[in-house]
Amino acid sequence: MTAVPPDHPPQPTPSGVGRLNQRFHHLVAQSLTTLEDLLEDEGLTALERGRLALDILALAQQSPEAAEWSPLNSIGHLVKETPEVSQPLETSCLDEVVCFDDFLSPEENQNALAIALGQQEDFVPSSTTSKADNYRQSSILYATYFPQFYHQLKRKILVALPQIWHPLNHSPFSVTQVEMQLTVHGDGCYYKVHNDSGSPETITRELTYVYYVHSQPAQFSGGELRLYPTDPHDGRLLDRKRFKTITPENNRLVLFNSRCQHEVMPVRCPSHEFEASRFTFNGWLRR
């Protein structure tokens, strides 16, 4: 996608349509600024802020030139993942995935890594809602340790949403909450096959997102994310041999349906250094 800076709108034309477009651009630009302020406003509930965000983004998508000028285009590159399967499945199996490469600016990406490396002692061992042993090995840092970055990343994800409904084959919904945590997978860490919305506490999770961060060049191998075809009716994994693979590239954002069965393959990190680990800012968008 071509990035057009939002502060350089297209030149006005003398026609009535051009003037209308110009007013529309101005209105949408103002609305987006208002939205940015409101999203930072702790006085509004998450539900109110989510609804505002979606309303204004829906407005932005109405522009006849949305594809060319929209500020949405300043976010990374939307990449089509090539599934590692020989034949496409005929109906949706919840395993659609969207990838944005270079999702944040280089400075924001560096800041994300600095947040991870600077707070090693505050990470706690992860658990699963079923508390099953040997199902997951990793450590997490709660978002209360990085409030500013939480707001930045959340805003960018919400702004990207209008681009993902179609490729994810998902109906738009009002986001009531954006959960976030920072997860570290060091040597030998993994997360076996699971979905993210299979318990009463997690049932309102609609979308899972994962933002990958690590030092470059990567000092670990493995740690791929695998997405399995999943029965949309009962959530069963349909075929273990047919999966999509997402490589954890630095500065990549991935989104998929929280009901999809997925897993994180074991990470190998020969140095055993914390700094060399696979880091993710990951979480869920709740309806």
Ligand X SMILES: O=C(O)CCC(=O)C(=O)O
Our CB check for ligand X shows the closer of 242 and 262 to be 262
Q: Which of 255, 259, 142 is nearest to 196 (CA)?
A: 259
User: Judged by CB under 6 A, how many residues of this single chain contact ligand X?
Assistant: 9
Distance of closest approach, residue 212 Cβ to ligand X, in angstroms: 7
Instruction: Cite the beta strand spans of 119-189 per DSSP E.
Output: 124-125, 136-137, 139-142, 177-185
For residue 136, the Cα-to-chain-centroid distance in whole angstroms is 21
Partner in contact with 281, chosen from ligand X, Fe ion, none, beta carbon below 5 to 8 Å by kind:
none
Q: Does 195 bind ligand X (CB under 6 A)?
A: no
CA distance 46 to 114: 27
The correct pick among 28, 32, 210, 267 for binding ligand X (CB under 6 A) is 210
Q: Does 95 bind Fe ion (CB under 5 A)?
A: no
Window 194 to 233, contacts with Fe ion (CB under 5 A):
196
Q: Does 258 bind ligand X (CB under 6 A)?
A: no
Which residues, listed in sequence order, are joined to residue 205 by a DSSP beta bridge? 286
C-alpha distances in Å from residue 202, one per residue of 186, 217, 260, 282: 26, 35, 13, 15
Distance of closest approach, residue 238 Cβ to ligand X, in angstroms: 18
Our CB check for Fe ion shows the closer of 78 and 246 to be 246
Partner in contact with 159, chosen from Fe ion, ligand X, none, beta carbon below 5 to 8 Å by kind:
none
153 φ, ψ (degrees, to nearest 5):
-70, -40
Label residues 171-197 b or e (16+ Cβ within 10 Å = b). Answer: eebebbbbbbbbbbbbbebbbeebbbb
The correct pick among 242, 252, 259, 262 for binding ligand X (CB under 6 A) is 262
Residues forming the site for ligand X (CB under 6 A): 183, 191, 196, 210, 225, 262, 264, 280, 282
